[in-house]
Structure 1
Amino acid sequence: MTAAGALRTAIDKDTGVAVVTLDRPARHNAIDLATCEQLGSLWREFRFDDTVRAIVLTGAGEKAFCTGIDRDTDVPQPGSPYSMDDPLLSIGPKANDLWKPVVAAVNGMACGGAFYLLGEAEFVIAAEHATFFDPHTTYGMVSAYEAILMAQRMPLGEVARMSLMGTAERVSARRAYEIGLVSELVAPADLLTAAVRAAEVIAACPTEPVQGTVRALWAAKEAARTQALAQAPHLIALGSLPPERQAGLFTGRGSAFRTR
Structure 2
Amino acid sequence: MSPIKTRREGAILEVTLDRPKANAIDLATSRVMGETFMAFRDDPELRVAIVTGAGEKFFSPGWDLKAAADGDAVDGDYGVGGFGGLQELRGLNKPVIAAVNGIACGGGLELALSADMILAADHATFALPEIRSGTVADAASIKLPKRIPYHIAMELLLTGRWFDAEEAYRWGLVNEIFPAQGLMDRAWELARLIASGPPLVYAAIKEVVRDAEDSKFQDAMNRITNSQLPTVEKLYRSEDQLEGARAFAEKRDPVWKGR
Is the CA contact (8 Å cut-off) linking 1:93 and 1:99 kept in structure 2? no
The alignment partner of 1:52 has SS state of coil
Matched, 1:127 2:127: no
TM-score (normalizing by structure 1):
0.75
1:24 aligned to which of 8, 19, 32: 19
Mark the structure with the bigger radius of gyration: 2
- Residue 95 of structure 1 aligns with an amino acid whose one-letter code is E
* Structure 1 equivalent of residue 88 of structure 2: 95
**For 2:78 and 2:165, how far apart are their aligned partners in 1?**
28
Q: Percent identity?
A: 35
Q: Aligned in 2, Cα 1:191/1:72: closer, same or farther, shift over 3 Å?
A: same
Which of 29, 34, 54 aligns to 1:40? It is: 34
What amino acid is the match of 2:84? I
2:2 matched residue in structure 1: 5
How far residue 116 of structure 1 moved from its aligned partner, in angstroms, is: 3.0
Superposition map of 1:192-203 within 5 A: 192-203=184-195
Q: For 1:100 and 1:177, how far apart are their aligned partners in 2?
A: 24
Aligned twin of 2:49: 55
Q: How does 1:129-208 map to 2 (within 5 A)?
A: 129-166=123-160, 169-208=161-200
Kindly report structure 1 stretches of 4+ aligned residues shifted beyond 4 Å.
none
Q: Distance in 2 between matches of 1:205 and 1:86?
A: 36
TM-superposed CA distance for 1:46, in Å, is 1.2
Aligned equivalent of 1:242: none
Query: Structure 1 residue 218 and structure 2 residue 210: aligned?
Result: yes
Q: How far apart, CA to CA, are the structure 2 residues paired with 1:117 and 1:188? A: 20
Distance 1:188 1:68 in 2: 21
What's the TM-score once normalised by structure 2's chain length? 0.75
Unaligned segments of structure 2, at least 5 residues: 217-259
One-letter amino acid of the counterpart of residue 98, structure 2:
A
Shift of 1:204: 0.6
Q: Does the 8 A contact of 2:109 with 2:126 survive in 1?
A: no
Instruction: Tell me the CA shift for residue 70 of structure 1.
Output: 0.5
Aligned partner of residue 162 in structure 2, secondary structure = strand
Asked which structure has the greater RCO (Cα within 8 Å, sep 6+), the reply is 1
Q: 1:86 Cα shift?
A: 6.8
| Residue identity matched to 1:128 | D
Q: What letter is aligned with 2:102? A: G
Q: Contact conserved, 1:25 with 1:64, CA < 8 A, in 2?
A: no
CA distance in 2, matches of 1:94, 1:66: 15
Q: Which amino acid aligns with 1:221?
A: E
| Counterpart selection for 1:72 from 66, 69, 80 | 66
Give, in whole Å, the separation in 2 of the partners of 1:102 and 1:189: 21
Query: Cα offset for 1:104?
Result: 0.3
| AA in 1 matched with 2:209 | L
2:47 and 2:18 map into 1 onto residues whose CA distance is 22
Superposed CA RMSD? 2.0
Gaps of 5+ in 1: 78-83, 225-260
Q: Is the 8 A contact 2:121 2:183 kept in 1?
A: yes
For the residues of structure 1 that align with 2:38 and 2:78, how far apart are their CA atoms?
16
- Looking at structure 1, the residues matched to 110 and 118 of structure 2 have their Cα atoms a distance apart, in angstroms, of 13
Determine the C-alpha separation between the residues in 1 that align with 2:166 and 2:108: 19
- Give the secondary-structure state (helix, strand or coil) at the position aligned to 1:136: helix
Task: Give, as a single letter, the amino acid of the residue that structure 2 aligns with 1:151.
Answer: P
How far off is 1:154 after superposition?
1.6
